[in-house]
Amino acid sequence: MPEFAVELRNVSKRFPGPSGEIVTAVNNVTMQIKDGEFFSMLGPSGCGKTTSLRMIAGFELPTAGEIYIHDRPMGHTPPYKRPVNTVFQNYALFPHMTIGQNVGFGLEMKGVEPKEIQRRSSEALEMVRLAGYEKRMARQLSGGQQQRVALARALVNHPEVLLLDEPLGALDLKLRKEMQLELKRLQREVGITFVFVTHDQEEALTMSDRVAVMSAGNVLQMGAASEIYEKPNCRFVADFIGETNFLEGAVKAQTGRDVDVELAGGLLCRATADEGSQVVSGQKVTVTMRPEKLGLRPWQGADNVYDGRVEEVVYIGTDTHYTVVLAGDQRLRVREQNDDPLSRPLAAIGDAVKVYCDEVSARVLTE
């Protein structure tokens, strides 16, 4: 088996816009999706996720570049000749048909023998934990069950790659979380490559082996969930994935990856630059710090310690969120776990506190 299930090489898609202008939906994207992985495309509305997926499926052709599936260039190959299947958000089952008929419909169209259809349909329904539901009518199922049928309908074709476009979007939160785990289990069991599209960062982090973060037709960063969360390569990614603080400053000095940044109000910050990123003295940069990596508890040997005043305290059970104002009117959000058995708040509004932060948790962003 080739290493990559799907490859996009310099793929662009331009559409004619409503008033004659050109809309670039996907801009020179190169991406390699490994065989057998759970890969997600994540980004805000309009960033080009669906368009990318539709090009892999063959519903749209790239304006430039080429798409490969298991090393085969797809060119003008029509959708039904590609070894992929798509599950859409609006999975639209045929309500007047049974589950078995819904799942077997595609195979029937292809002229597969009834016995074989039955065998493969049962097998697919078993995979999505709906064994024995063949005779039920589609309209008698809950939303989550209907989504499972939609999955079975795709799996029955034994695709090499399964494309999923916000398949859980129509479900309520609880069901959505259940289906996330279910999908992940399914992917592990059947071992086929999943390409999953979502604008929900938590969903992407929970489910994926790797994530591509997209914005305005571009892939900004691609990597394991932890890599994207811990080492965002730009402000957009840091902001889009999870919660974070941004402090503006200018580089004072740099030795290797250690960077001293002068922040507003004359504060100094010892921060870490990305491998291979070049910063020079005087350069304007942004420092990002995740709230859970900051602390109010005294912390021996912390690289950065700032005096501040508590502006806001929000208790949310597991954690307490503090907003602390530093010199130069800069604000830091700090999250402390309530792991103390007495669960005492560490500070109240108006208290003078110190905020502690290590160098590795303060990351320098240049764009």
Ligand X SMILES: Nc1ncnc2c1ncn2[C@@H]1O[C@H](COP(=O)(O)OP(=O)(O)OP(=O)(O)O)[C@@H](O)[C@H]1O
Radius of gyration of the chain from its Cα atoms, rounded to whole angstroms: 25
CB of 180 to Mg ion, least distance (A): 18
Among 29, 33, 39, 49, binds ligand X (CB under 6 A): 49
Is residue 213 within the footprint of ligand X (CB under 6 A)? no
Nearest CB to Mg ion, comparing residues 51 and 233:
51
Among 40, 50, 145, 146, binds Mg ion (CB under 5 A): 50
The residue assigned the tokens 């604008």 is 199
Is residue 271 within the footprint of ligand X (CB under 6 A)? no
Among 12, 51, 122, 272, binds ligand X (CB under 6 A): 51
For residue 65, give the amino acid letter.
G
For residue 55, give the amino acid letter.
M
Is residue 56 within the footprint of ligand X (CB under 6 A)? no
CB of 215 to Mg ion, least distance (A): 14
Among 35, 37, 46, 175, binds ligand X (CB under 6 A): 46
3-state secondary structure of 221: strand
- Residue nearest Mg ion, Cβ-based: 50
CB of 172 to ligand X, least distance (A): 19
Where do the DSSP E strands lie in the chain? 4-16, 22-34, 38-42, 64-69, 72-73, 84-87, 161-165, 193-198, 210-215, 218-223, 245-255, 258-263, 268-272, 284-289, 304-315, 319-326, 330-337, 352-357, 362-365
Q: In what order do the strands lie in the sheet with 352-357?
A: 330-337, 319-326, 304-315, 352-357
CB atoms within 10 A of CB 130: 20
Within 183-212, the residues that bind ligand X by CB under 6 A are 199
Is residue 23 within the footprint of ligand X (CB under 6 A)? yes
CB of 44 to ligand X, least distance (A): 7
Is residue 52 within the footprint of Mg ion (CB under 5 A)? no
Q: Which residues bind ligand X (CB under 6 A)?
A: 15, 23, 25, 43, 45-51, 199
